[in-house]
Every structure is written in C-alpha cells, then in structure tokens.
C-alpha cells in the first residue's frame, strides 16, 4: 500500500489488550462473547418481531428495527476480529481488510447518529403532537427518512475510503488498538497527516455534535411536554423511558467525543481502546433492552412467538 525504506506494508498487527494476563484475558473473552451473542440475538429477535407482528408495524418500531439491523453490523465490524484475537491470538489483518473495517465502522456509526436524530424526532411528534402523529409520520416519510440514513452511511463509507487511500506506510505495521481506528492509523503513517487528521476530526465532530444537538433539542421539547401531563403516573413512565434513552445516548456520544476530539491524539492508545469498548460493545449491547425489550408490546409479541414455536415443536 505504501512504500518506504524499501518495505511494502501488506498487513497490520493489532496489539490491543496484548498486556493482559491469562486469567483476565479469558474473562474478557468470555464476557465479550456473551455480550456479542446477546446483542446479535436480541437485535435479530427485534427485527423478526417487527416484520411478523402487525401490532409492531408502526413508525416507531420500523425505526427501531432499522436501528437493530445497524447495531448487528456495527458491533460485528469490530467485535468479530476482537474475539478472534482473544480466542486464537490471530492479530494480523491485511491492509485492504483494515481499511474496509475502518470504513464500515465509521459509515455504520455515522448512519446510526442520523437514525438517532430521526428516532428522537419521531418520539417528539408522538409525545408533543399526538393528534398529528399519524398525519406527520406517514409510511412514505418513514421510508424516505430511513433511505436518507443509508445514503448518508454510503457517503461516509466513500469519504473514509478516499481519506485512507491518502495514507502511506513505511514498514511499521503494529496498530496499538483492537481494530483499525483512524487515530492509530494516522500515527502509524509516515506521510504528513496533519491536514488529514484535522479534516477527519472536524468531520467526525460535526456529525457527532450536530446530531447530538438535534437529539437533545428533541428530548428537551419532550421533557417540557411531559411536565405538562396531568397524570403523575404518565409523567413518571415517560421520564423513566426518556432517562433510559438518554443514558445510552450519553454512552455513545461521550465515548465518541472522547475518542475523536482534536486533543484525543494525545491520549494513550490503551485508554482509547478501553473507551472504544463502550462505543463498539456496551452501547450495542444495551440498545435492545433500552429501546425494545423493556416495552410491553414487544415482550407480548415475543412471548406469543415463543408460545407458537413451542406448540409447533411439542404439539
């Protein structure tokens, strides 16, 4: 990919978490495996239920189904390689695979930020303008909004591939991370990456902060609407739901700002690896429980689906 000092770099070595002792290594591997399987199965169950249950074929669950689909691929883009590293010690990754992993990670992450804005707008309309909800959140509009999310993800993917193609590498190939993040790649490159790094930081922070401002604005309006609800029980329920949503949003936005703020290049890569786990593992793990599996309608649909499956297996 890059030539320097007579050396052509064809693969990288991911050295993240290489300093762990054997006991902690096995514990981390087991925990991450369980969290990954739970994330994939939980989100897959949500997608299945949204597709087959008529009661869940509403704008809110349509958006949640798309979020679940995004989460499966987003966490898989980094977790599978991390599990391979922890389970088999295979730390090498080709340059093309590294660039593809990094690009898909940012594309899916960027698309998810846009989707979170759309979901917060949906909740704003549902809570603050319930009488107009059906007229505003029509099926056609939902399709258009989700299409915009995926088009945005494709734009992010193309942009990131072009940016990475500008990097050159001169023999050094050890990435001090568990996946191909841009920070260690920039630090490993032998070309002048000052402008590229600033461009990447500005681009990422613009996406993160703009989506954060729009999402916070929606939830602020929602909170004011909740305060005007006459029933105390309704206010408590709405506050509990919004609080859980904001908790997960704090995890993903906080970790992204910590990782990709302009000063993050001066933070140790070991610290970056730990913070990245919040973004790539913990947040996707929490989402099925926060957005869906705490919902009575989803749980009822899940119980009915399990009852039908059991009846078919054991008539």
Is residue 166 classed as helix, strand or coil in its secondary structure?
Answer: coil
Residue 46 belongs to a domain: yes
- pLDDT band at residue 2, thresholds of 50, 70 and 90? very low
| pLDDT, position 204 | 85
Is residue 239 classed as helix, strand or coil in its secondary structure?
Answer: helix
Residue 201 belongs to a domain: yes
Q: Which residues contact 5 (CB under 8 A, 6 or more apart)?
A: 170, 171
pTM, to two decimals:
0.88
| Helices within 165-282 (DSSP H only) | 182-188, 194-227, 232-260, 269-277
Residue 287 belongs to a domain: yes
Residue 313 belongs to a domain: no
Per-residue DSSP letters for 77-97? HHHHHHHHHHHH---EEEHHH
Domain interval for residue 278: 11-307
112-121, 240-249, 265-274: segment of lowest average pLDDT: 265-274
Q: Which residues contact 200 (CB under 8 A, 6 or more apart)?
A: 163, 182, 186, 260
- pLDDT band at residue 3, thresholds of 50, 70 and 90? very low
Q: What angle do CA 249, 64, 137 make, to 5 degrees?
A: 105
| pLDDT, position 40 | 95
Is residue 265 classed as helix, strand or coil in its secondary structure?
Answer: helix
Based on the structure, what is the number of domains in the chain?
1
Residue 132 belongs to a domain: yes
Query: Which tokens belong to 161?
Result: 């591939």
Q: What angle do CA 40, 45, 48 make, to 5 degrees?
A: 125
154: left (phi over 0), alpha (psi -120 to 50) or beta: alpha
| pLDDT, position 14 | 92
Q: Which helix (H) or strand (E) holds 119?
A: helix 95-128
CA–CA separation, 259 and 305 (whole Å)? 41
Residue written as token pair 């630090």: 187
Q: What is the mean pLDDT of residues 109-113?
A: 93
* CATH code of the domain covering residue 153: 1.20.1070.10
CA–CA separation, 91 and 213 (whole Å)? 38
Residue 314 belongs to a domain: no
CA–CA separation, 263 and 197 (whole Å)? 11
Query: Which tokens belong to 124?
Result: 């704003």
Residue 3 belongs to a domain: no
CA–CA separation, 279 and 281 (whole Å)? 6
Q: Are strands 11-14 and 174-175 parallel, antiparallel or unpaired?
A: parallel
* Whether the predicted pLDDT of 205 surpasses 90: no
Residue 4 belongs to a domain: no
Cα separations (Å) of 198 from 123, 157, 186, 204, 264?
35, 18, 11, 10, 12
89-103, 247-261, 295-309: segment of lowest average pLDDT: 295-309
| pLDDT, position 7 | 62
* Backbone phi and psi for residue 13, each to the nearest 5 degrees, phi listed first: -120, 120
């Amino acid at each position: 990919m890059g030539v320097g000092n007579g050396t052509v770099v064809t693969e990288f070595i991911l050295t993240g978490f290489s300093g762990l002792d054997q006991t902690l290594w096995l514990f981390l591997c087991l925990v991450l495996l369980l969290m990954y399987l739970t994330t994939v199965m939980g989100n897959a169950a949500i997608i299945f239920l949204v597709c087959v249950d008529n009661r869940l074929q509403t704008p809110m669950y349509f958006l949640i189904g798309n979020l679940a689909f995004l989460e499966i691929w987003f966490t898989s883009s980094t977790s599978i390689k991390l599990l391979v590293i922890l389970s088999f010690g295979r730390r090498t990754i080709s340059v093309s695979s590294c660039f593809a992993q990094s690009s898909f990670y940012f594309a899916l992450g960027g698309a998810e930020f846009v989707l979170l804005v759309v979901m917060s707008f949906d909740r704003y309309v549902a809570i603050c303008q319930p009488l107009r909800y059906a007229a505003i959140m029509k099926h056609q509009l939902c399709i258009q909004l989700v299409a915009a999310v995926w088009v945005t993800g494709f734009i992010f993917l193309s942009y990131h591939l072009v940016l990475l193609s500008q990097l050159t590498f001169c023999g050094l190939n050890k990435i001090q991370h568990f996946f191909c993040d841009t920070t260690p790649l920039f630090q490993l490159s032998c070309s002048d990456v000052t402008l590229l790094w600033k461009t990447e930081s500005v681009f990422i922070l613009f996406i993160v902060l703009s989506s954060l401002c729009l999402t916070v604005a929606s939830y602020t309006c929602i909170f004011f609407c909740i305060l005007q609800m006459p029933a105390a029980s309704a206010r408590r329920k709405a506050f509990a739901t919004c609080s859980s949503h904001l908790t997960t949003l704090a995890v993903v936005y906080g970790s992204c700002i910590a990782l990709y703020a302009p000063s993050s290049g001066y933070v140790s890569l070991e610290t970056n690896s730990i913070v990245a786990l919040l973004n790539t593992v913990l947040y996707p793990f929490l989402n099925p429980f926060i957005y869906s599996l705490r919902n009575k309608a989803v749980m009822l649909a899940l119980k009915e689906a399990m009852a039908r499956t059991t009846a078919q297996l054991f008539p």
